[in-house]
Structure 1
């Protein structure tokens, strides 16, 4: 499970060093994909395969499903960390997420997410207020 928030830097070659807490889960490889809210999702290969199996069960007659599959899978990239646990983020994904030097990598349960730090800070500030004032069940059975 991926938990917490970490602030690695993107180097000049478009690489980041994986947070130490995530290395065990990602040491043998990972899949990067476009995430919603303009971040990058980071999956283990097994979790990514599960997601692909789910989304490809959508009916081919659904335009929304076809569009989602195209955008999600066309930007996906399987990567392997080097000996220093650095991972190269492909240029198209860096551009999609607006990544520059300062990054925030968060744990989101079954995946990690890579955010531009300014984008994460803005997102988090907006969501924190909504989170603390939630009066109804957002996820059934959670609280």
Structure 2
């Protein structure tokens, strides 16, 4: 898998899922508070993240492209680009979790705003199994930024 600028890549279109019980936007204007779909275009490996921290602040990011079979749709203004990132874990013995993050956030770390994204496309859970060791159909989106 090659590294690329995430905006040059194609990926999988994911639907955004919100809690229907609330009308409040808990993302504080985040990507999933404004869009009903996102396009997963790549992921950051632990090595990519180390490079980002070493060169912070970056104008671009180190992102690993999705496998060829997952490069289907280009991001659009209605389905902007997101990447997968490893979530922080207190228990290092547990399997690592991943979350989605907006590409335009750069190396900044957001937090969960309560929204998720996923698809019925089998390529997403297959990719998640490769990256984390278990299948995952729905993924938390960390698109809330404060301050």
For normalisation by structure 1, the TM-score amounts to 0.26
For normalisation by structure 2, the TM-score amounts to 0.25
